[in-house]
Amino acid sequence: MTAPVFVVEQVPGGPEFVLEGPEGRHAVSVKRLRAGEAVVLTDGRGHWADGVVSAAEGKDRLVVTGLTGILEEPRPAPRITVVQALPKGDRGEVAVETMTETGVDAIVPWQASRCITQWKGDRGLKSLAKWRNTAREAGKQSRRVRFPEVADAMTTRQAAVLVAAADFAAVLHEDRGHDSEPLATVPLPAEGEIVLVVGPEGGVSPDELAAFTAAGARTCRLGASVLRTSTAGTAATALLLGRTGRWS
């Protein structure tokens, strides 16, 4: 079994570190780690250190020794960003969780015109915080040391700017009458930025589709079946990770 991951503000460069607070409590009281077990300390930004538990003290103090020094994971290439339309209920957190576990690099909440959910005021801030916390926890669970960035919510115009700057961009579009290409066969860059747009349950509107294609996006499909917005991004990310060699 791989070593559990715990988040620290700054990865320690020295041979010993005391993990305290919520992360220490999780390690001692929830994971029940004991002396001799391996752990990974990371800042979630690609830096980490391997270590070994030397002692568990009280309910929230874990003493870690034998630290390897600060290591750094190279930035992934190509980098994959999913522009995710806001799903209903808790499906947004489900989408963030599974995309994080799969390996997405960035997630952009998108207020599409056909979204039932609206992020406004305090509700929007609270929902964004939930997405970011979900990405952090899913990053830990999946043993990542570089967690996906969750951006502020974007409008269609803002997302189109992101699409225009990408080395490859695609809009997942399930309309059988539309001339969409299989995502499994379109040419992909070996490096740079890939941006994937996932629409809401009601689909991407004609105006939104026009804005994205004008910015350089291709319209693509995953297969014959139609996936929910909360699962389409995960399936597409897995396909891209396999095709680009990042899962090799």
> pLDDT per residue over 202-221, tens digit each?
899 999 999 999 999 999 99
CATH topology match: 5-72 vs 79-243 = no
- Residue 177: which pLDDT band, with cuts at 50, 70 and 90? low
* Per-residue pLDDT, 195: 98
CA atoms within 13 A of residue 162's CA, in its CB half-sphere: 25
Q: Where are the domains of the chain?
A: 5-72, 79-243
* Per-residue pLDDT, 180: 87
pTM here is 0.94
Burial class from Cβ neighbours inside 10 Å (0-12, 13-18, 19+) for residue 207 reads exposed
Provide mean pLDDT across the span 131-137.
98
* CATH T-level topology, domain 5-72: Ribosomal Protein L25; Chain P (2.40.240)
Task: Check pLDDT > 60 for residue 115.
Answer: yes
- Residue 175: which pLDDT band, with cuts at 50, 70 and 90? low
More confident site: 89 or 27: 27
Provide mean pLDDT across the span 97-116.
97
CB 221 within 8 A of CB 183: yes
- Residue 178: which pLDDT band, with cuts at 50, 70 and 90? low
- Residue 225: which pLDDT band, with cuts at 50, 70 and 90? confident
* Per-residue pLDDT, 53: 97
CATH code, 79-243: 3.40.1280.10
Provide mean pLDDT across the span 67-76.
94
Q: What are phi and psi of 57, to 5 degrees?
A: -115, 130
* Per-residue pLDDT, 95: 97
Convert the pLDDT of each residue in 34-47 to its tens digit. Answer: 999 999 999 999 99
